[in-house]
Amino acid sequence: MNKAPEQRNRRVLIIDDNRAIHDDFGKILAPVESIRSAVEDSEALLFGSAVKTVVPPRFDLVSAYQGQEGVTLVKKALEEGRPYAMAFVDVRMPPGWDGVETTRRIWEIYPDLQVVLCTAYSDYSWDEMIAKVGQTDRLVILKKPFDNVEVLQLACALTEKWLLLQQAEFKLNDLERMVRERTSELLKSEERFRLIAENATDLIAVVDTHGRFLYHSPSCDKRLGFSLSQPLEESAFDLVHEEDRAKVLKAMQVCVSTGSGQALDVRVRHHDGSWRVLESHGSPVRNARGEVGTVVIVARDVTERKRGELEHQQMEAQLRQAQKLESIGQLAAGIAHEINTPMQFIGDNTRFVQESFVALNRLLACHDRLLLAAKNGAIGPELIAEVEVAAQAADTHFLSEEIPKAIEDSLRGVELVSKIVRAMKEFSHPGSDVKTPIDLNNAIDCTLTVARSEWKNVAEVVTDFDASLRDVPCLPGDFNQVILNLVVNASYAIAEGAILGAKGVITVTTRRVGQWAEIRIRDTGSGIPEKIRGRIFDPFFTTKPVGKGTGQGLAIAHSVVVDKHGGTIHFETEMGKGTTFIVRLPLANRAQEAKNV
């Protein structure tokens, strides 16, 4: 793959039958260093050491004295991979080709060459030249006798133009390559998805918002015992068990109205009249207007699995783990929002500082001119007025106060983002079957930071940590999950009974109580009704509405604390005042103690 040109090409071809012209171009575009140094020395003597000569770029000149020779040099340069960026071509070069014919032949070989036709006569009109070489932006006419500055400007501009042209062509070729590759990838991807859809064991269907089938995979025929290509049913809803139809219709309405995917288990009629349980997920597809026009349904026949769940209790552990992963996933959007907020004001402050320095740079430029005028004893009222206008526009008093504040705010934002990232790193500690000593307070603080989006709108969090709890044996990942579940549960309890606009308080304390580390998480919610207190730690028990909870949070907390850590967990509650969950973990690793006995 060719690389995009990055350095300027200053190779210039001079085609002219007059050798003196070549010497003139050399003096302008490639002056001898000794001559240039002598000129600089003379200027230093005349104007003082402060005068610095602006050194023009030096070009690599190659000479040809006839058009045929110039064409040969262009071919050779291309073969060597060192093309010329531009050429100065004389119009009259008897007895061979003239400049127009030479240019035409060169462009047949290398159309990117920038050409300056040099003429002192009316050899060709512009229309005649266009007729010979075509309408192009690569041709410039230079009248003789030419000005040195004009020649230098043309050389600088056209070599730069050549570079930009090469970069643009490279980018265009690269984009075309990418389009070809992407097109090929899309075709391959389409073929893969077709194979997946036709051979997948999962049921795949596309329905409109009324439930009418637009597509179904062959697995639908195999799993349900009949072909949906035949209009056996008007709508997919007709296949659903009448007891499940209401929740399916509701899920469809939510999917269409909110654009969010919906997942649910549903009983679907088999062709033989039996009922199959499908674990289905509906994903909305928006049309060009942004409206949900169709829904893609991916379903799996879990009939046998559901039967197995009733027979095998070990499935409970798998479901608990799924709930743990789900709760972590639900935090992602909140964490993204927490990071986005400081990043926004960091960006705003940075843009403010950037814009402020535009005005300050103008003021500094005016001050430089004022200083120079002061040194020369030539300060005029116009310059003073210009400085005053620039000073007023910059409003330095305002900027001197606000820029430090903006920088300070940005640094606070960076620290906040760093804190969130550190908390996520601590919270996502990989699971382990072996207890390791951890800083209990730091683990709780990190979990509170990660879960901030869950509680910040409903409660204030107050912490009171015992600094001595820095070496408590724990399973870090499991312990973080316990704290997360209890904090989320406290947030929900406060939100459920909160007065509109009022915030509650979640108080988290740690203490050393004998050989135990005690964690108390207290909320100012409505309390736990007496009739359900005995079921709080039961698996799948929840008082939350459908879709808000699985009833696994407190069950997992109990299992982690009691079974995995050998600790205790219980609660104290009072209706109308709140609930306190008390977790106690042994400070000594009991499994290790047993080995040492």
User: Whole-angstrom Cα distance, residue 323 to residue 439?
Assistant: 26
How confident is the model over 7-50, as pLDDT tens digits?
678 999 999 999 999 999 999 998 875 445 555 555 555 555 54
Q: What are the helix and strand counts (H, E) for the chain?
A: 17, 17
- Nearest 5°: CA angle at 284, between 283 and 285? 120
pLDDT of 511 over the 80 cut:
yes
Measure the CA–CA gap between 68 and 63, rounded to whole angstroms: 12
Indicate the pLDDT class of residue 303, thresholds 50, 70 and 90: confident
511-540 in b/e burial notation, b at 16+ Cβ within 10 A?
eeeeebbbbbbbbbbbbbeeeeeeebbebe
Kindly give the interhelix angle for 315-375 and 381-394, rounded to the nearest 10 degrees. Answer: 160
pLDDT at 546 > cutoff 70: no
Q: Which two tokens stand for residue 357?
A: 């320095």
Using the structure block, give the residue that is written with the tokens 């808000």. 548
- Dist. CA 203–CA 215, nearest whole Å: 11
Q: Which is more confidently placed, 581 or 454?
A: 581
Task: With a cut of 90, say whether residue 94 has pLDDT above it.
Answer: no
When mean pLDDT is compared across 40-44, 192-196, 442-446, the lowest value belongs to 40-44
Q: Are residues 427 and 450 in contact, defined by beta-carbon separation less than 8 angstroms? A: yes
Average pLDDT over residues 386-405: 75
Contact status, residue 429 vs residue 498, Cβ threshold 8 Å: no
Backbone angles phi, psi at 41, to 5 degrees: -65, -40
Lowest mean pLDDT of 38-52, 55-69, 380-394, 396-410, name the range.
Answer: 38-52
Calculate mean pLDDT across residues 414-432.
Answer: 62
Reduced to 3 states (helix: H, G, I; strand: E, B; else coil), residue 145 is coil
Both ends of the chain: CA-CA distance in Å?
A: 70
Asked if 24 and 155 touch (Cβ cutoff 8 Å), the reply is no
Beta strands at 86-90 and 60-64: parallel, antiparallel or unpaired: unpaired
Say which residues have a Cβ less than 8 Å from residue 18's Cβ, sequence separation at least 6. 90
Contact 133, 111 (CB under 8 A): no
* pLDDT of the residue at 345: 63
Higher pLDDT, 364 or 165: 165
Pick the CATH number of 11-172 from 3.40.190.10, 3.50.50.60, 3.40.50.2300, 3.40.50.300: 3.40.50.2300
Return the pLDDT at 356. Answer: 75
**Identity at 543, one-letter amino acid code:** T
* Chain CA centroid to CA 199, Å: 35
Contact call for residues 248 and 237 (beta carbons, < 8 A): yes
Q: Quote the DSSP letter at residue 503.
A: -
Q: Which residue has the higher pLDDT, 378 or 75?
A: 75
Q: How far apart are CA 14 and CA 460, in angstroms?
A: 80
What is the arithmetic mean of pLDDT over 213-242? Answer: 73
Q: Domain 200-312, what fold?
A: Beta-Lactamase (3.30.450)
Which of the two residues, 118 and 383, has the higher pLDDT score? 118
pLDDT of residue 16: 93
> Which range in 301-315, 408-422, 517-531 is most confidently predicted, on average pLDDT?
517-531
Give the lowest-confidence range in 154-163, 282-291, 380-389.
Answer: 380-389
pLDDT at 442 over 60: yes
pLDDT at 408 over 90: no
Q: Supply 391's token pair.
A: 């000073």
Q: Cβ contacts of residue 70 below 8 Å, gap of 6+?
A: 13, 15, 64, 87, 89, 102, 106
More confident residue, 197 or 439: 439
By C-alpha distance, which of 564, 567, 565, 538 is closest to 553? 538
Span 305-334, mean pLDDT? 59
pTM, full prediction: 0.38
| pLDDT above 90: percentage of residues in the chain | 20
Mean pLDDT estimate for the chain: 79
Query: Strands 568-574, 578-586: parallel, antiparallel or unpaired by DSSP?
Result: antiparallel
87, containing H or E segment: strand 86-90
203 DSSP 8-state letter: E
Q: Is the pLDDT of residue 61 over 80?
A: yes
CATH fold group of domain 429-596:
Heat Shock Protein 90 (3.30.565)
Least confident of 155-169, 366-380, 465-479, 533-547: 533-547
**Two tokens at 330?**
């639900």
Nearest to residue 387, comparing CAs of 373, 398, 375? 373
Query: What's the CA gap between 461 and 452, in Å, rounded?
Result: 9
Rounded distance between C-alpha atoms, residue 106 and residue 155, angstroms: 18
Say which residue the tokens 């704290």 belong to.
Answer: 483
Residue 1 pLDDT = 44
pLDDT at 162: 93
Ordered by start, the domain boundaries in the chain are: 11-172, 200-312, 319-421, 429-596
Q: Is the dihedral of CA 259, 261, 266, 269 positive or negative?
A: positive
Q: What is the mean pLDDT of residues 512-516?
A: 91
Choose between 391 and 444: higher pLDDT: 444
Q: Tell me the mean pLDDT in the region 363-379.
A: 78
Q: Report the DSSP beta bridge partners of residue 296.
A: 206, 283
- Asked if residue 134 has pLDDT above 90, the reply is no
Is the pLDDT higher at 444 or at 223? 444
Higher pLDDT, 344 or 188: 188
Name every residue whose Cβ is closer than 8 Å to that of residue 58 and which is 6 or more positions away in sequence. 10, 29, 30, 31
- 132 pLDDT tier (thresholds 50, 70, 90): confident
The answer for residues whose C-beta is within 8 angstroms of residue 543's C-beta and 6 or more apart is 532
Q: Which two tokens stand for residue 444?
A: 């709780």
On whether the CB atoms of residues 475 and 565 are closer than 8 A, the answer is yes
Q: Residue 348's pLDDT is what?
A: 73
Phi, psi of 207 (to 5 degrees): -125, 155
Closest CA to 436 of 485, 480, 484: 480
Which residues make Cβ contacts (< 8 Å) with residue 247, sequence separation at least 6?
264, 266
Q: Are strands 86-90 and 114-119 parallel, antiparallel or unpaired?
A: parallel
Cβ within 8 Å of residue 145, ≥6 positions away? 120
450-495 pLDDT, tens digit per residue, is: 777 777 888 888 999 998 888 889 888 788 888 888 888 888 888 8
Residue 553 pLDDT greater than 80, yes or no = no
